[in-house]
Amino acid sequence: MDKVQSVRGTYDLYGATKRKMKKVISTGSDVVEKYGFEEIETPIFEFTEVFARNLGDTSDIVTKEMYCFEDKGGDSLTLRPEGTAGVVRAFVSNGMQQNLPVKFYYSGPMFRYERPQKGRQRQFTQFGVELLGIETPQADIEVIAMAYEFLEKLGLNGQVTVEINSLGDEESRNAYRTKLVAYLQEHYDELSEDSKNRLQKNPLRILDSKEECDKAVVENAPLYADSLNEASQKFFADVLRGLDNLGIKYRINNRLVRGLDYYSHTVFELTTDKLGAQGTVLAGGRYNGLVSQMGGGDVAGIGWACGVERLSMLLEENVDLPRPIAVIPVGEDTNDKALEIAHSLRLAGFHVEQSYSGNMKKRMMKANKVNAAKAVIIGSDELANNTVTLKDLDSGEQKTISQSDLIKELQ
């Protein structure tokens, strides 16, 4: 390492970038708390099996993207590549089946060893929700509505499309897989190299391929909807009807499949065309088998997660800092008084920026730079008379008031 730099695919988050991310997370928290979701924080690393067993051993995340390491006790641990497995593990570990439904939200860093690009990092931040214990479509509708409201509050719903599909229950999924594989086998020679591989590992993914030759084959492939059994069809129809009732606009995408094995029934993605190849900004679905797979009994689940950095990049305007009040002492003997005034203003709830050094002009420039709304100036005259000069930095008007009236004047 010749230069002091952060590890590839990791970034220092500060200033405007951090402010936007903070806004995304706080907006998300406010929205989902109204739906009764409570925050959970699970460890950033788990036993490797938590992810390896549950995400699907053919998924790319498990086969090539996990940061695994052995700790000094010899256990194989993995930096979490996504949030759901950890939350479900916590649910099972803590015996939360006793008190359903359970509604959690979380945010924090995730890690995937991938080639970095715009909107794709090796350490990135997700905000997500999980609703456990409700197997009826109300849960799907509510959770999607929540995602929709979230993006609306961020002012992004004009640039984001809701895409939705159903993978059906296990029976439907297996039936479709069989049909699709049979069809694709017949057209094996027409498929791209990647897709020939995918045929073994994850044939559903071929539906999603961007290769022209694949698209041509997929064009006439059997439709997922035709393989859904009656129960799955009804479930999907109920979800869609619910979304219609709530005025949520969506697009059915019968090629939408998700990368992780644990999904069933409803899957959805919120996508944008503004981030190049990384268009998916929020994604999720139902995972009815996951809890029992972890030994937690037959508990249904549904959730989503969003990429906080990706959403932040869509936020056009800068998130403004609150405008402080600048307290400006003039002359050394006023420092004590200035500090006292600054302190009392802070205790009264104001944002206060103290100026530390320089002549008055410097200090005024500094006040301007931090976008202060008002300046409280205290020099020898003010000190002698127990007054301050209060200046409005937008209008330029200023007046002298007594120190005891300052807080009242500012409110």
160 φ/ψ angles, rounded to the nearest 5 degrees: -125, 135
118 binds RNA (CB under 7 A): yes
Q: Do 207 and 177 contact (CB within 8 A), yes or no?
A: no
| Among residues 254, 280, 293, 344, the one that binds RNA under rule CB under 7 A | 280
82 binds RNA (CB under 7 A): yes
Q: Which two tokens stand for residue 127?
A: 């905000």
Site for RNA in 336-355 (CB under 7 A): none
- Minimum distance from CB of 9 to RNA (Å)? 5
Q: Give Cα separations from 380 to 166, 328, 345, 402 (angstroms).
A: 74, 12, 20, 14
393 binds RNA (CB under 7 A): yes
Which of 128, 86, 130, 138 shows the shortest CA–CA distance to 104? 130
| C-beta closer to RNA: residue 132 or 326 | 326
| Among residues 367, 376, 403, 406, the one that binds RNA under rule CB under 7 A | 367
Range in contact with RNA (rule: CB under 7 A) among 111-119, 220-228, 234-242, 291-299: 111-119
Range in contact with RNA (rule: CB under 7 A) among 171-179, 317-325, 338-346, 387-395: 387-395
| C-beta closer to RNA: residue 188 or 347 | 188
- Minimum distance from CB of 364 to RNA (Å)? 3
Site for RNA in 295-324 (CB under 7 A): 305-307, 309-310
- Minimum distance from CB of 366 to RNA (Å)? 8
Range in contact with RNA (rule: CB under 7 A) among 14-22, 94-102, 275-283, 336-344: 275-283
44 binds RNA (CB under 7 A): no
- Minimum distance from CB of 411 to RNA (Å)? 21
Site string for RNA, 199-218 (x = CB under 7 A): ---x--x--xxxx-------
| Among residues 135, 142, 194, 238, the one that binds RNA under rule CB under 7 A | 194
79 binds RNA (CB under 7 A): no
| Among residues 119, 168, 289, 301, the one that binds RNA under rule CB under 7 A | 119
| Among residues 389, 401, 407, 410, the one that binds RNA under rule CB under 7 A | 389
- Minimum distance from CB of 269 to RNA (Å)? 6
| C-beta closer to RNA: residue 126 or 227 | 126
Per-residue exposure over 41-71, b if at least 16 CB sit within 10 Å of its own CB, e if not: ebeebbebebbbebbbeebbbbeeebeeeee
Which of 275, 18, 302, 260 shows the shortest CA–CA distance to 143? 302
| Among residues 61, 92, 228, 406, the one that binds RNA under rule CB under 7 A | 61
| C-beta closer to RNA: residue 241 or 331 | 331
409 binds RNA (CB under 7 A): no
- Minimum distance from CB of 241 to RNA (Å)? 25
89 binds RNA (CB under 7 A): no
| C-beta closer to RNA: residue 196 or 241 | 196
> How many binding residues for RNA (CB under 7 A)?
71
Site for RNA in 150-189 (CB under 7 A): none
| Among residues 131, 175, 282, 376, the one that binds RNA under rule CB under 7 A | 282
| Among residues 28, 203, 303, 379, the one that binds RNA under rule CB under 7 A | 379
